[in-house]
Structure 1
């Protein structure tokens, strides 16, 4: 299927959703890989017990090889959730693989109406990038909902961010700083593997002047090396203001990962900070992608500059 070509969003400020609160409607969708069918009911019950109205995509329990249903069905569920005016938030159930297959099927730039909370990570990076570039949305990098079956406390922590009760601000230690500096910029990125596959496509984020966020899981050091080389040769590190790294889980020795970032990023003399609580590690705090953040290695602080939510 050929890529649908529409005009990219060109707004200086991306669209903000309303902050969540009990009584709002959350839709569970499955744009990528498979998960235990029982997870859906358990996540639904968890959110309903917290006061949310929960809708479930019509096809989330379908299976097609390693995908949660056929492309057309996954795309239809996602499109309905994103465009339904009665839905306030869209939570992805799992990453894995499959989101990139949906991009040509979704006319993001033709979405109308107010934006809404969109939550997920890992393979969902593809959708974060497309929603920012083509629909002009701020989206939220954070846990996929099926993970809450085994860790319901993480659901409470995630909702605290999305309800505006926990600030988007983090401190770090001196040993986490690979290169010093103070910069502010719009946050882009997500999973390193997915982001690398986006470069050169119409759905890639705009890197100029941005803060780049990266994380990954189960990628051998030589593959991390190759991807960082690719981003460098594509001009990404020359364009961005700084780099913020989350967890690199199962990617070999952590010092080797730090060495790779030293080799490929430090020559650009932009601040680089490692091992913040985002991504596939034990802690996956919520990050509003598209919002403006400030990274200050002297104060050892990474924080949001303005609220990612619009007023009611």
Structure 2
């Protein structure tokens, strides 16, 4: 039987929803181990202790069911060597972008941008996402990034991943075009777009709903790199996965 661990490094989770998830996963043949801090208002260290303990167990994966704002408070307490040496990969999304990238930055071990709470089909993490080209130029590199607001929490810290020759993935749940442009400008001022080999734009939920995502697509066209757009990765309930630390290759016939 496959064993997986459930934790919450960001904001508190709804216990009833988590219990429903556990029931459905157990019916699918998974043995579930729940972190001690998942259902309580725990300190950052207590939440990180759950993660560190799970890294030392024989698990198929460590899945974070939380989201919100608090994930970066746990990073100083994470045992990076335990993650590097452990058998399990870490899965999370949105605010967990900070942990996903910090883990990769410090260990060079893959993590997965994926929310089990929204999509219980764990096998979906291995399925490729569909995309369209916004700017045709072959792209090859290890992927970094995630939720743009949360990813930028790592700016100026030792946990921000090296951008040289990488492919940057970005998505966002909230934020109008002005807010998204400010985030992109910060990445520009950090020199990120002068280093990366390509850009993947995922779901930008607020822009997509208001049909203003074309403004984003027009804005990023100035970057001298290949750019693709996928509507299959982000905050939707059927979102597919992107692996942080995995090398992707995108080739266009017209590039």
Normalised TM-score (structure 2): 0.91
Equivalent residue runs for 1:72-83 within 5 Å:
72-81=45-54, 83=55
State the partner residue of 2:250: 295
Q: In the TM superposition, what whole-angstrom CA distance separates every residue of 1:255-297 from its partner, at most 9, and x where no partner exists?
A: 644334433x333321112233001134310222111111234
State the partner residue of 2:201: 245
Equivalent residue runs for 1:28-107 within 5 Å:
28-63=6-41, 69-81=42-54, 83-107=55-79
Distance 1:73 1:273, change over 3 A: same
Secondary structure of the equivalent of 1:195?
Answer: helix
Computed over aligned residues only, the root mean square deviation of the Cα atoms, in angstroms, reads 2.2
Distance 1:278 1:189, change over 3 A: same
Asked if residue 218 in structure 1 is aligned to residue 174 in structure 2, the reply is yes
Distance 1:109 1:179, change over 3 A: same
Deviation at 1:137, TM superposition (A): 1.3
Q: In the TM superposition, what whole-angstrom CA distance separates every residue of 1:99-118 from its partner, at most 9, and x where no partner exists?
A: 10111122314645334121
Q: Distance in 1 between matches of 2:16 and 2:209?
A: 35
Residues 211 and 240 in structure 1, CA contact (< 8 A), matched pair in contact too: yes
Structure 2: any 5+ residue segments left out of the alignment? none
Asked if residue 205 in structure 1 is aligned to residue 161 in structure 2, the reply is yes
Q: In the TM superposition, what whole-angstrom CA distance separates every residue of 1:116-150 from its partner, at most 9, and x where no partner exists?
A: 121110001011011101122111111143x3xxx
Q: Distance in 2 between matches of 1:192 and 1:200?
A: 15
Q: Distance in 2 between matches of 1:124 and 1:203?
A: 13
Structure 1 residue ranges, 4+ long, deviating more than 6 angstroms after superposition: none
Correspondent of 2:99 among 127, 147, 156: 127
Asked if residue 27 in structure 1 is aligned to residue 27 in structure 2, the reply is no
Normalised TM-score (structure 1): 0.75
